[in-house]
Structure 1
Amino acid sequence: DESSRPDVARFFNKLEPLEGVPVINLHLWFDKKIESLSSDKMDQLLFSRSKLLSVYADMSNSCREYHDPDRSMLELVFAPAAAKFGGKSASEFGEYEDWIGRSDE
């Protein structure tokens, strides 16, 4: 029934004010499955409260394209990446400007 369908264009128009920032995706393959502290394996997408490492997942459990019953593939998403990677002005990244090049010390 056409009347029960949501107005998709109107829904996605709410996303228009959002601006993308450059990110770094890091894929790490392990030669065996990573197990969590409990006996269950990590099998879902996890979000972090960290301002730099926002998303991570064992993609071998979460994504059909990376499925592997014997190995884990951990995907880490770092955002924002340094301005030099995305062509934006460095001042837009505030305290996270050039976090890649800074020492932790």
Structure 2
Amino acid sequence: MTELASMPTEVILTQSREVLTKIYLDWTPQPGNYLDLDGKTYAVLERRHRYHLQSGRYKLHKVALYVQSATRPEEQSLIDGQWVIGDATCKYNARSILIRCAIHPTGPCEGCRFRE
């Protein structure tokens, strides 16, 4: 079986559907991971697998990562083996790898008057 990490990977901007690059990665990005390309940082929003029919069977051909421009969050918490943005002990934290909270999504958590 082919490893996903050895697959050709297309990196696509989500809003414009522009293909930023086609690369081979030595890791398998999941939604919520960050990817650095040409000095810019992108958040992975979605990962899709592309298959081709070969000899009567579908075979994984490449991976498409849908990304958006982002900055890496400075505040992160680990909950049940999953990294989330911000202070996970706050009752308003979204416990998400993509959004901090509805009240103050851009952060930081420290100094937020709603932090509980």
- Calculate the TM-score normalised by the size of structure 2: 0.22
Radius of gyration: which is bigger?
1
More strand per residue? 2
- Calculate the TM-score normalised by the size of structure 1: 0.23
More helix per residue? 1
